[in-house]
Amino acid sequence: MHLDINHDGFDDFVDYASGPASIPRASNLVQLVVSCSPQRSERSRAAQKYLEDIVVEHAAKLTVLSLRIRALYSAPPMLLLKHLVLITRNPISPECCGSLACLPQLVTIFIEPLTVRDGQQYAVDLRGCVQLQRVCFSTRLPAKYWVPEACSVAVKCTAARLLTDKCSWHEEWRVAELSWDGRFESIEYVDWIDVREAFQGTQQVRFPQLTMLKLDVEQLGTLGDHMVIGSDTFPELQILRVNCKTAYLTFKPSVKLKIFCIYSTWAMRLDVEDQPALCEHMECLFCQGVWSDVAGAPVSIGRGVMNSERYKGSMFRCVMQRYGVLNNCGKPKRMGRVVFPQYVASHDGVGCDCTACHSCLGIAGI
């Protein structure tokens, strides 16, 4: 049995939970998904209590639990649970973090506390989850974490602490995927620096194990101080997806990029120090921006990948397109895109790749 409590049906659920409702004990509930926001669900104490009772009653059989709740103070033993999504309105308690370490079949976990209290971050030790393959921390990051050796770590964050606390997030901890959304800078709760400085060559932060980077910001680098890819800052980066107004990037000869997708609405400059080295690993290219910028280095990269003799067949072609849009003054502006291979028809920077959140589990058919 699968139970999905979504946004549209939440009012009916509140009415049911507020009445003489009983927990369905006879049913074989293996998946519980709560997809309405914690801010909304916390308005009803009856609904909160009902959700907690369902989790406790069916803990032994649950394999998928996607829970958006005001608070979860401890997790009952769930020996069969494989996928956990935990989004809480209140901070995660130390008791809850301790109970998360006792999930032996857990494969993926997504943790997102929406608030912190007095600047206190949580710490979580998941080394007891021996089957764990992927953990994703979102919004509020833990002060410390421990995961099994084979587990990869993803971070979806709007907090600049990720960029300023070098001890935790750059040098020591294993971060395989980083998704940064600079549009929500107003919810920052710690001291922070301008996000643009964090990705400039002179002040660029270092992620030695990062393989995927997704950025949604106003600007990357400056004309005189580019963001550098393939150097000591991103030595293992394989996937780079960027949505911005302006971007100034330099690709070093040691670059290992396989997928590069960028959407720029104002200006873009790409300096490639060794084009054959860049094209050697490239598998997917999507560059969209002002045509005068796209017609330079992006076109050369696309042609270099297409002519590298690694790909055969008509589908592996570099496609160049030009189109016009109206700028803020109502005047036409020539835009363009370069795509390889040609079946990559849309901007590949949209969507999520963490493989642990509710959306990713749904795409995977879980």
* Per-residue model confidence as pLDDT tens digits over 49-107: 777 778 888 888 899 999 888 777 777 888 999 999 998 888 888 888 888 888 999 99
Work out the percent of the chain whose per-residue pLDDT is above 90. 18
Q: What is the pLDDT of residues 197-214, one digit of tens each?
A: 556 666 666 677 778 888
List Cβ neighbours of 101 (8 Å cut-off, separation of 6 or more).
124, 125, 126, 127, 128, 129
pLDDT at residue 174, rounded to an integer: 56
pLDDT at 17 > cutoff 70: no
Q: What is the mean pLDDT of residues 112-116?
A: 76
For residue 166, report the phi and psi dihedrals to the nearest 5 degrees: -65, -35
d(CA 206, CA 8): 43
Q: Is 227 helix (H, G, I), strand (E, B) or coil?
A: strand
What is the token pair recorded at 78? 């769930």
What is the token pair recorded at 342? 């040609």
pLDDT at residue 169, rounded to an integer: 47
d(CA 60, CA 318): 53
Range ranked top by mean pLDDT from 160-174, 226-240, 276-290: 276-290
Question: Which one has a higher pLDDT value, 304 or 353?
Answer: 304
Q: Is 155 helix (H, G, I), strand (E, B) or coil?
A: strand
pLDDT at 219 > cutoff 50: yes
Q: Is 54 helix (H, G, I), strand (E, B) or coil?
A: helix
d(CA 294, CA 267): 10
Q: Which residues of 276-313 are buried (b: 16+ CB within 10 A; e: fewer)?
A: ebbbeebebbbbbbbbebbeebbebbbbbbbeeeeeee
pLDDT at 274 > cutoff 60: yes
Query: β-strands 332-340, 284-290: how paired?
Result: antiparallel
Question: Which one has a higher pLDDT value, 7 or 294?
Answer: 294
pLDDT band at 193 (very low <50, low <70, confident <90, very high): very low
pLDDT at 42 > cutoff 60: no
d(CA 24, CA 208): 49
For the beta carbon of residue 23, count every other beta carbon within 10 angstroms: 13
Specify whether the CB–CB gap between 153 and 176 falls below 8 A: yes
pLDDT at 328 > cutoff 60: yes
pLDDT at residue 177, rounded to an integer: 56
d(CA 363, CA 352): 10
pLDDT at 160 > cutoff 50: no
DSSP symbol at 116: -
Provide the mean pLDDT of the chain. 76
What is the token pair recorded at 338? 């370069």
* Cα 23 → chain centroid: 35
pLDDT band at 128 (very low <50, low <70, confident <90, very high): very high
pLDDT at residue 166, rounded to an integer: 43
Query: β-strands 239-251, 212-216: how paired?
Result: parallel
* Cα 91 → chain centroid: 21
Q: Is 235 helix (H, G, I), strand (E, B) or coil?
A: coil
Tell me the residue type at 207.
Answer: F
List Cβ neighbours of 266 (8 Å cut-off, separation of 6 or more).
245, 246, 289, 290
